[in-house]
Amino acid sequence: MKSRKKLVNFAVGAIVAALYVVLTYLASAMGLSSGVIQVRFSEALTILPVFTSAAIPGLFIGCLISNILTGCALWDVIFGSIATLLGAVFTYLLRKHKVLAVLPPIIANTIIVPPVLIFVYGVSDTYWFILLTVCIGEVISCGIIGTALRKSLEKTRVFERI
C-alpha cells in the first residue's frame, strides 16, 4: 500500500510539472508572459499544494524546466524556481486557510523576481514599478485564476479520490 501511495505521488508531481511547462508555453505563445504585467497561467497551479504535497516538487521541477526551455538566464532559472518552490511550500503550510493559501506565491515572486529583472536582465524601470507590475501579474495568475482553479477542484473532489 505504501509503494502505491509513493507511485501516485510521483505521478501527480510529474503531471503537475508537465502541466506547468505546457501552460507556460501557452502563455508565452499568447504574449502574456512578457511585457509590463506578466500573466503565467502555470502560476495558477501553485494552489495545488492545498490539495496534495505531491504538487510541491512538481511545481518546482515544472518551473525549472519552463525557465530553461524558454531561454531564461541562469540566475532567473535559479531564483524564479526558488520563488515558485517557496510559494508552493508555504501554500501547503496554509492549506487549511484557503483564502490565505494564494498569498505565498504572490509574495515570493513579488519579492524575488524584481531584483532578477533589474540585475540579470537590466530592466531600467524603477524597483517599485517592477515590484507593482510583478505583484499584479501574480495576483491575476495565483489570486484570481488560482482561486477559480481551487474552487473547481473542490467541486470535482478529484484529489479526494487519489
Long-range contacts of 94-97 (CB under 8 A, 24+ apart): 95/49, 95/50, 95/51
Cα separation, 55 vs 34, in Å, equals 26
* Main-chain phi, psi angles of 147, to 5 degrees: -65, -40
Q: In the predicted model, what is the mean pLDDT of the chain?
A: 92
Domain hosting residue 130, numbered range: 2-160
114 dihedral zone (left: phi>0; alpha: psi -120 to 50; beta): alpha
pTM, whole model, 2 decimals?
A: 0.92
Report pLDDT for 31: 83
pLDDT interval class at 143 (50, 70, 90)? very high
Report pLDDT for 2: 79
Report pLDDT for 1: 61
Residues 6 or more apart from 33 whose CB is under 8 A from it? 24, 27, 39, 40, 70
CATH of the domain at 146: 1.10.1760
Report pLDDT for 11: 94
**Would you say residue 73 has pLDDT above 80?**
yes
Instruction: Tally the domains of the chain.
Output: 1
